[in-house]
Chains A and B, each alone.
Chain A
Amino acid sequence: MADSAVKAADAAAVHDQLEQIERNMSTLQRVLTTPYPVAQTPKEVIWTLNKASLYHYIPVTPPEQRHPIPLLLVFALMNRSSILDLRPGSSFVEYMVKLGYDVYLLDWGTPGLEDKNLTFDDYVLDYLPRAVRKLKSFSGASEFSLLGWCIGALITTMYAALRPDDGLKNLILLTAPLDFTDKQCAGFIRWVNDQHFDIEKILANFGNMPGELLDYGAKALKPVENYITNYMRLWENLHDPRVVESWHAMNTWVTDLVPLAGGAYRQLIIDFYRNNRLINGTMTLRGERVDLGNIRADLLNIIATEDHIVPPAQTEGVMAAIGSEDKQLLKIPGGHIGMMAGSSAIKRTWPQIDAWLSQRSGD
C-alpha cells in the first residue's frame, strides 16, 4: 500500500519536472527569438533631422511639482538609446519623469551609407545645438541640463566647451571616454593602437563601422561573461519570471545593433584613442578649438569602478582640465551598462543623480 503511494508520488514528481522542463524550453525560445517591448514610457517626437529624433516624455506630475529646468539625455552613437528606458519599473526615464523632471531624449537613429561622412563636428555643432534650440523653444526654458552617456558624454562635453553660452546649466557625464593618456589601461585602447589595425581599410570596406564588429569588440573584452556566464544565468533562472524579463529586455537591447558613422569612427580612433587630442588641447571641430576650460556648467562626472569598456582612467583625469567651478566626481560600483541599467542602478545611481540635479534644477 505504502509502496504504491510512493510510486505514485514519484511519478507525479517526475511529471512535474517534465512540465517544468517544457515550460523552461518555451521560455528560452521566446526570450531568444522575440524582442522585448523596450522604451514603453509615453513620449512624443518634437523634432527630427536626418535619422536623429528628439523625444519629449509626457509629464506625469502636476506643473507646480515639476522642475523648471528641462533635462536632455544623449546616449552613445552605437547601440540604441532605449537602454535609458529599458522596461517599466526599471527605466531611468520613467524614474526621472515621476520625480517631476521635464525629460527629453536625443536619439541618433541608425546611420545609413549616406551618413558615412558624418563626423563629431556634425554631431556636436549641427545636430545637438539644433536639438537644444528645439528643446528650448518647445519647453520655453532658457536653461537646460544635459546628461551624456559613453560617446554621448564625449559629444556633450565638447558641446559644453564650444557653446558655453547656449543655456547649459548642468552637465552630467556617465562613463565618459575623454582621457586616453594611459595607453596600457584595459578597454579598446590596446587594440586600436596596434599598427595592424587599419582604420582606413575597415571604412573602405564597410563605409560605416558595422554594429556587429563594435558588438564583438565590446563582448570580447569579457568573453566568458558575455558568451557563457550570461546564458548560464538565464538557464539557471528560467523559473523566475523577474530574472527572465530583465534578461530578455537587456538581451533585446544588446542585440539591436547600430553602425557608427565612418567619419565619426575615424575621428574616435585617430583623434581620441591614438592622439588624445581632447586632453592635449589640440582637438578642433570646424576650426574651433575644444577647450575644456571653457566649460562653465555645473558638472557631475560619474565613473563605474568596474567599467571594462571605458576604464576609470579614461575619465578621472579630466576633472582638472574642466573649467566649471561646481564639479564633482562620483564613483559608483558597477560596469559600463550595469551602473545605469542594472538592479543596483535604481538603488544607487539614479537617486544620486536626482539628489545632485534636483538642487540645481531651479527649485
Chain B
Amino acid sequence: MVAAQRRTMYTRQIERGRGAGPRLLCGQRMRKVRRFVSQPSDKGNAVNPFDPLGFWRTTQDSALDSWSKSMVELVNSQPYAEATARMLDSYLSMSIPMRKLLSQTMEQTLSQFNMPSRTEVISLAERLTNIEMRLDDMDARMDDILRLLKSVASAEASVAAPPAAQPAARPARATATRATNGATPSGGARRSRSTSASAKAR
C-alpha cells in the first residue's frame, strides 16, 4: 500500500476515534500512527491539514529562519558594531578603577598577612617558564649529542663491517683462515662484539 493511501486510512481511523478499535489505538501502535500522520505527506513544503502541531512547527521553522536572517544582518551592520563597542567601552571604563582599587587593597592585605600577592606569584610563574625553556634547550642539545654519538658509532661499525662481513660472504675461506691463523678469530670476535654494541646503540 502506498504511503498516501495508508495515511488517508489512518487519518480516517483517527477521525472515527474510538470506533477504530482498541488494537489500533493502544500504546506503541497509536504513537506510531500519530507520528506517521503528523509527517508532511511530501518531504517538501506540503503541510498536513490534520496535524496542528506540524502546521505550528512549519510556521515556527519559517519564523526562526527569517528571524535568524534578520539577526545576522543586524549583527553585521555598522550601528550594531558601534553600539556593542560603546557598551563594552563604558563597562570597561567603569570597571577599571574598581579593579585597581580591589587589587591594591588585596595586595596590602596579603602583604600584612605575610603572603605572596598575585603579582609575585605571576613573576614566579614567569621564572619557571624561563627555566623550562632552558631545560628544553638542554634536551635539544642532548638529542644532538645522541645523534652525533649514533653517527659516530655507525661510522665505526661501517669501518669494522668489511672484515667482519668477509667470513660470512666466503665461509669456506674463513674456515681455512681460522684453521691456519689462531689470532684472527679472537680479533674477529672483538670486532663482532663492537659491531653488535654499535647496533645496540643505533
Contacts and interface: CB of A to CB of B under 8 A. Distances in A.
Contact of A9 (B30, B64, B81, B123): B30
Nearest to A16: B27
Interface residues of B, number: 44
B68 A224 contact: yes
* A interface, size bucket: 35 or more
A114 interface: yes
A319 B168 CA distance: 58
Interface string B130-158: 00110010011001000100000000000
A115 B132 CA distance: 14
A194 interface: yes
Interface string B106-144: 000000000000100111011001001100100110010
B85 A130 contact: no
B92 interface: yes
Nearest to B87: A196
A5 interface: yes
B82 to A, nearest CB: 6
A235 interface: no
B3 interface: no
B71 interface: yes
A114 B129 contact: yes
Given A13-B31, A190-B78, A201-B89, A6 B84 contact: no
B81 A194 contact: yes
A26 B168 CA distance: 74
Contact of B18 (A3, A126, A195): A3
Contacts of B136: 47, 49, 130
A328 to B, nearest CB: 30
Contact of B92 (A3, A130, A195, A198): A198
B1 interface: no
Given A114-B122, A190-B76, A5 B143 contact: no
B101 interface: no
B99 A229 contact: no
11 contacts: A6-B22, A9-B26, A13-B25, A115-B129, A130-B136, A133-B140, A191-B84, A194-B85, A197-B88, A205-B92, A228-B64
The 3 closest A-B pairs by CB, nearest first: A9-B26, A196-B85, A114-B125
